[in-house]
Structures are given as structure tokens and as C-alpha cells.
Amino acid sequence: MSEPLLQVKNLKTYFYLEGKKVAKAVDGVDIHVHPGETVALVGESGSGKSVTSLSILKLINKPGKIEDGRIILNGTDITPLSEKQMAKIRGKEISMVFQEPMTALNPVFTIGNQLKETIRKHTRVSKAEAERKAIELLKLVGFPRAEDTMKEYPHQLSGGMRQRAMIAIAISCDPKLLIADEPTTALDVTIQAQILELLNEMKDKLNMGVLLITHDLGVVAEYADRVMVMYGGQIVEETTVKNLFLHPKHPYTQGLLDSLPSLEKEVDRLGAISGMVPPAYDFPSGCRFSDRCRHVMEKCRTEIPDLKPIQTGHNVRCCLYE
């Protein structure tokens, strides 16, 4: 297999809160993504998905801090890079698409200006060339009247169209890695599918690696190659998508899958996992899932199990398999 495009090793990102509380939002995460591969990061709200993606981009601000770990992009450790050096990498080597494009797009500039600005920030091209490239990109992501769209402001576009514009900006400099954090959560179901299809198409076209963050296992099933299940700032299970759906091992993964609606299942299995993800400053001392686990044992309350292979390419963090 090819060299990983992205390697995240033992990433720890903590937030130092008032009253000496420490929120261990990301606590020892390892990730690898290959070119052309879509890796999904799934988990409930508060499990640490966004903090993981922001950490990879080194966009963590006070009171947060990357405490430990390495972020290796194409063989180069980017962990020690300065903010100025990171600014060159963001948008060029690693691009991102977020849930709400209104916060990423600047409301006072036209779509065309924002697109051209990104292109010219990272590549040496003339204004005319940037204009041509911008129009071409808008057409590529599905704006038939791209010349007109260039002159429009973000608020003049629908949510789905804004997300398309975001994608055009994100892929404008041929990034190697695209991080998409809940890229379609704010959109209607039919538009969601179109946007995810578009992302998938662009991934193939550019042979990008994609880190797809979602809480929707349906999206995982459709678009990811591998999946990492996150809980309480840690990866609790990782394997291929097919294997995850056929042989889920971690009780949390099993609960997530049980809570998926299906034709055969009774509706009362919805919400199979009781309770909520604990806040990152107040995890139980043993396994972080122990309070909600239906298989909880004595040692689960005191020991944090390691993430261990139970089979090639299938890792689980659970005392049941120790």
C-alpha cells in the first residue's frame, strides 16, 4: 500500500478550564489516511471529532493546547511549524469544509473574489488566469451559470449552493487532504446526498485523502472506506466499513448500530445507548464508556483498556477482548 498521506500519532488536545478543570477533548488519537481513501470519524456529539480535525490543522486556541503527539503530512512532521508556515499549508496541502459555510465564507466579498483570492494566495497565476480557474471550478462543482455566480454574495446562494462554493474553494489548490467536518448536517436530505456525491467525485478526480467527520452511520456506509469510532476523546474501534457493519465489537459501536432505524427492527430499539457522552473534564476513571455500557465489569471501572487488534485491521478498545 502507498505511504500514508496523513499520520496522526498519539494526539492529545486538552482545554484548561476555570477551577483547574482539564477537558481531555482528544486523548491519545492515532489516525492514518492514504491518498484516495475516505476515512470516517464517527461518534456522538462531544466525543472529540471537531477538536481532532482542528488539531490536525493546528487551529486550537486558548484555553486549548495540543499537549502531545505528531501530525505527519506526506512524511513531514508539521507539528513544530509556526503559524506562518501553517497558513501556507492550510488551503493548499490540507483543505477543510465545515458544517456551516456561512461562517467560513466572508459575507462582504463575492464568491468569485473569495475563490480568486484563495487561488492567488497559494499559486502564482495572473488575475486573468485566476478568474478562468475560478469559473472552471464553479462549473466543476455544479454551477451552470458560473460567470454569474462569480458576482454573487454568499447570502444570495441557498445552503446547498453555498456548500458547493465552499467545496470549490477547498479544492481550488489541489489539496492532498480534505477534512470535511459534518459537511452536510445543515442541509436537506436530498441536497446532502448531492454534496456527498460531489465530494466523492472530487476525491477520485484529485486522488485526495478525505477525513470525513460525521455522526451519521448511513453516510459512513455510503462514502467511507475505513471508519474510526470515537468516544470520550479516544478511538474505541477502527476497521473497514464493511467489517464494522458486519462485526461490530465495541459495545458502543454495537449501540450506535442498534440505534439505526431499519425495516426489520422495532422502533423501540431507537436510542439503544442510554445516557450521554460525559463532558471531557469529567470522564469516569476507567473505561470512558463504562457508565453507559451494558456489559460493564468490575475492572472496566478502574482500567482504561488499550486499543488492540483483534484481527488484522480491526482494533478495539474494550476489556471484553483483553
Ligand X SMILES: Nc1ncnc2c1ncn2[C@@H]1O[C@H](COP(=O)(O)OP(=O)(O)OP(=O)(O)O)[C@@H](O)[C@H]1O
Q: Which residues bind ligand X (CB under 6 A)?
A: 15, 23, 25, 43, 45-51, 64, 215, 279-280
CB of 208 to ligand X, least distance (A): 22
184 binds Mg ion (CB under 5 A): no
Say how many residues touch Mg ion, by CB under 5 A. 2
Work out the burial of residue 1: count CB atoms within 10 Å of its CB; fewer than 13 is exposed, 13-18 middle, 19 or more buried: exposed
| Unique residue bearing C-alpha cell 464517527 | 42
End-to-end CA distance of the chain: 29
Task: Report the sign of the C-alpha dihedral through residues 106, 109, 111, 114, in that order.
Answer: negative
Using DSSP, how many helices (H) and how many strands (E) does the chain show? 11, 12
With CB under 5 to 8 Å by kind, the binding choice for 36 among Mg ion, ligand X, none is none
Contacts of residue 124, Cβ cutoff 8 Å, sequence gap at least 6: none
Closer to ligand X by CB, 6 or 130: give it. Answer: 6
Cβ proximity to ligand X, 169 vs 229, nearer residue: 229
Among ligand X, Mg ion, none, partner that 40 touches (CB below 5 to 8 angstroms by kind):
none
Query: Which of 283, 304, 306, 293 has the alpha carbon at shortest distance from 25?
Result: 283
Least distance from Mg ion to the Cβ atom of residue 182, Å:
6
From residue 4 to residue 43, the character string flagging contacts with Mg ion as x (rule: CB under 5 A) and all else as - is ----------------------------------------
213 vs 296 by CB, closer to Mg ion: 213
Q: Please tell me the distance from the alpha carbon of residue 215 to that of residue 97, in angstroms, as a whole number.
A: 16
Region binding Mg ion by CB under 5 A among candidate stretches 7-15, 50-58, 76-84, 305-313 = 50-58
DSSP state of 285: S
50, 114, 118, 214: which one binds Mg ion (CB under 5 A): 50
The distance of closest approach from Cβ of residue 259 to ligand X in the complex, given in angstroms and rounded to an integer, is 15
Q: Tell me whether residue 50 or residue 192 sits nearer to Mg ion (CB atom).
A: 50
CB 254 within 8 A of CB 212: no
**Interface with Mg ion includes 99 (CB under 5 A)?**
no
Please give the distance of CA 152 from its chain centroid, rounded to a whole number.
29
Give the Cα separation of 275 and 287 in Å (integer).
15
Residue 47's binding partner, choosing from Mg ion, ligand X, none, with beta-carbon cut-off 5 to 8 A by kind? Answer: ligand X
CB of 42 to Mg ion, least distance (A): 11
Q: Which stretch binds Mg ion (CB under 5 A): 48-56, 62-70, 170-178, 228-236?
A: 48-56
Reading the block at residue 23, the C-alpha cell is: 477537558
> Cell triple for residue 303?
482500567
Residues forming the site for Mg ion (CB under 5 A): 49-50
